[in-house]
Structure formats: structure tokens, C-alpha cells
Amino acid sequence: MNTKISKKIGRRGKIGLAVLIAVMFIGVASAGFLTHYNTITVNTNVKQAVLVDGFDVNDPIEQELDATGGEIHCFGHDIKNNAPIDATVSFSFFFDTAEPGLPPNQDGITVTYKDSVHLENKDSDWNIIDDDRHADIEFELVDEEFVYNLDVVGMEPETDYVFIYRADEEDRFTNWHGYGSIEIEAFTTDGDGNYSNSNSVELDTDLPRDTDWNNGPDADYTQAPDFYKHKTGAKLWVVTDAHWDNENEIMVGWDREAYLFDTELIRYFDNANHEITIPAGEFIDFEICYAFAIHIEPGSYTLITWIKPVV
């Protein structure tokens, strides 16, 4: 009797143990682990940082041109960098069935990228003096050499002058010698005080130089007394040879009334890759000039300049 009861209880115990294990197994299986605590989703609309004439890649720029062989036609453009960092771009020109990246002088059409600046004499408050003295400089924006046309009008007759890139130091009104400046050309005016020349010079540097205060974060020529379009950049001047130290390339004298000063800042890029760098938040204006050979075959041509990011 006792033995039978023990066996019966044992069978029930085994059943209960099995049920308990099953319940425990089910509990563990349903308890799982979190794969993450939360998610953060940002929905953003990204705008193109570098714009050409105010347009992005979705609005290609098209222009019409009627040309005759032997003519040169130029169109003004600008590239604006809205990013908080500098942006480097390259120019690549081709037409018809030519491939992108070929040299910009082919089959009777030559393209160049140019800029220009006007020089004036100024009074002690840096205001332009309204007279006949001035100079105009046209130059290629990017090239292995600084290629330029210089036209000087109304200066002292038969007088020696120097066309210079003028670098500045901090507190430029006190430190006026202009360490880091470069002589571009020395010349002598004619009997009417005029001079004109086209030339190319190996500067072996971009303009402005990295050490030029005018290329730094503290420069802002959009403010008084200049009110220029560009905050930073390079200055081009015409000064008397007597006040210029050619060996050390600095100013050694000062006579404001005898010089011609910048009326805007410029940039020049010394490379063969047609690459230019637009500083953060700034813009560069330039012209694309198309020169048609005198013997070019008549017909319709599609001229395309690609402006590409350099990364």
C-alpha cells in the first residue's frame, strides 16, 4: 500500500516538474532584449554651396552669340561660395564633339578667363580724386604666368614708375613698407604721362600671398573707407620708382599724390590646371573670353565651360 502511493506521488511530481520547466522556458523566451533605445531622424533639404551667376546645377546657363572670325567676345560671370569653408573649382572648356578636359586652345577657338581692375589716385581720406590720372589692368585669372595688359594715363611725363602687387601687414597705415610685395613691371611714361604694355611675368605665387594681411580673417574691405565688393584679396598699385626698393621689394618712401591705388581687390591663381579657390562666404567675378581664329570654318558651334569641384 505504501509503495503504490509513493509511486503515484512520484509520477505526479514528475508531471509538475515538467510543467514548471515549461513555464520557466516560456517566461525566458518572451523577455527578450532591446535592440535600441530610440531613433533620431533628421529630414533636411541640402542646397548647393557653390553657385555660378546665382544658379545651381539644375539651372544651366545658356547664352547666344553671333561672331565673325577674328573677333573676341567676353561674357561676365561670378562664382559665389556660400559654404563656411574654402571651395576650389576647375574650368574645363570644349566645343562640338571635343572631349572635356582638352587644352583650352583648339580648332580655331581660344578661351581665356579674365578679370580687370581700375586704379585711381586718392586723397588723404582714401577718396578717389576726380582727375585724368588712372590706370586700367586686364589680366588672366588663372595661368602659369601673370598675363596682363597695363594702360596708364595722365601721370608725370617721362617719369619712372613701378607696377606692383602691394602686400600689407597688420596695422598697414603704420607699417607702410609693404613687406611681401612684388614688382611686376618697371616702366617710364611718355611725353604725355602715358604708358601701355602687354606682358607676362612668372610670379611663382598666387595673389594675394598667404602672408598678406589682406588675405586674412581680419581684413574686410567692404567697410569704410573702401566699401569694396570683396572683403579680402590682392592690391595692385603704380608707384614711383624713387620710392621702391627693387632688391627687397618694399616701399622706402611715401608720396600719396604720386601713386595710383586699387579701387577693388583681385585674385590671381598661379597654376596650369585652371583651378581657382573661392574663400568661404566670398565670390570671384571674371569674364570668359572667346577668341575666334580669322580662318575658322563658318557654322554653328556649341561652346561649353564646365565648372567642376576639386576635392
Examine residue 10 and state whether it is found in any structural domain, yes or no.
Answer: no
Residue type, 161: Y
Instruction: Report the alpha-carbon distance of residue 296 to residue 283 in Å, rounded.
Output: 35
Domain extent for 148:
50-309
pLDDT of residue 5: 46
Examine residue 119 and state whether it is found in any structural domain, yes or no.
Answer: yes
Examine residue 21 and state whether it is found in any structural domain, yes or no.
Answer: no
Examine residue 45 and state whether it is found in any structural domain, yes or no.
Answer: no
Examine residue 73 and state whether it is found in any structural domain, yes or no.
Answer: yes
Residue type, 10: G
Of 162, 165, 202, 205, nearest in space to 185 by CA = 162
State the total domains in the chain.
Answer: 1
Instruction: Report the alpha-carbon distance of residue 311 to residue 125 in Å, rounded.
Output: 43
Ordered mean pLDDT values, 10 residues apiece, the chain (311 residues): 50 53 53 93 97 97 96 98 98 71 66 97 94 97 98 98 96 88 98 98 97 95 95 98 94 95 98 97 97 90 94 91
Give tens-digit pLDDT for 193-246. 999 999 999 999 999 999 999 999 999 999 999 999 999 999 999 999 999 998
Instruction: Report the alpha-carbon distance of residue 92 to residue 264 in Å, rounded.
Output: 27
pLDDT of residue 239: 98
Examine residue 24 and state whether it is found in any structural domain, yes or no.
Answer: no
Examine residue 18 and state whether it is found in any structural domain, yes or no.
Answer: no
Contact 106, 293 (CB under 8 A): no
Residues whose CB falls within 8 Å of the CB of residue 277, separated by 6 or more in sequence, listed in order: 86, 87, 88, 89, 269
pLDDT of residue 199: 97
**Run of H or E residues at 222:** none
pTM: 0.85
Examine residue 92 and state whether it is found in any structural domain, yes or no.
Answer: yes
Residue type, 242: A
Q: Which three cell numbers stand for residue 291?
A: 577668341
